[in-house]
Copies of this chain bind each other. A is one copy, B any other.
């Protein structure tokens, strides 16, 4: 039996007193472990990541990892959950109401493009989780209900576009989400093999603008055709 885990969120009122001291700061210890673990898991996969290595890169010890997260799997799940929680804010940023449908869908595409580019760790974690057929993610209790907003934003854009009779009506919001994600994820996730096999770095900064507009064009042209 391990000691009972502490309260995950015991008040956000972190006393700003004594910045220099670092002892006894569970909040910070927890998040520091998660930060390091995110990097290690995304770089080495679940089996490839080493608990000892994660501990070594932290200012705490391995004991703390087990104290807070119980097991390697528990830590991995916590990393996944935090990563998914981070992404949910994306779709909310789209200014759906004040843009016409075409501009809105293009903005959504570009926001997704930017977000994925700046969160490669998340994409790798998702890839790793898919190798394991999402069996860890399936056990998460905080995940459900995290995705509705993402889809409903797209749904509203589609509805408006159809009301104006400029969007095709044989796809739903999830299809569009998939289409955009596929493009953005592939560019990040398959960067290395693509470069090795075809000799082109999809993340070359000179190509960034090209691929960004290419994505927007692709989605818009597809939706407005017919």
Contacts and interface: CB of A to CB of B under 8 A. Distances in A.
A217 interface: yes
Contacts of A133: 192
Contacts of A221: 221-222, 225
Contacts of A175: 210-211, 214
A27 interface: no
Listed residue (A47, A48, A181, A193) with the most chain B CB atoms within 10 angstroms of its CB:
A193
A178 interface: yes
Q: Is the interface of A mostly helix, strand, loop or mixed?
A: helix
Interface in A31-72: 42-48
A99 interface: no
A130 B198 contact: no
Contacts of A183: 179, 182-183
A200 B174 contact: yes
B197 A143 contact: yes
A166 interface: no
Contacts of A77: none
Interface in A99-125: 124
Listed residue (A45, A179, A190) with the most chain B CB atoms within 10 angstroms of its CB:
A190
A145 to B, nearest CB: 11
Listed residue (A48, A126, A151, A182) with the most chain B CB atoms within 10 angstroms of its CB:
A182
A91 interface: no
A151 to B, nearest CB: 7
A218 interface: yes
A42 to B, nearest CB: 8
A20 interface: no
A217 B192 CA distance: 28
Interface of A: 42-48, 84, 124, 126-131, 133-134, 137-138, 143, 146-147, 151, 171, 174-175, 177-179, 181-183, 185-187, 189-198, 200, 202, 210-211, 214, 217-218, 221-222, 225
6 contacts: A46-B48, A126-B193, A129-B192, A137-B193, A151-B198, A218-B218
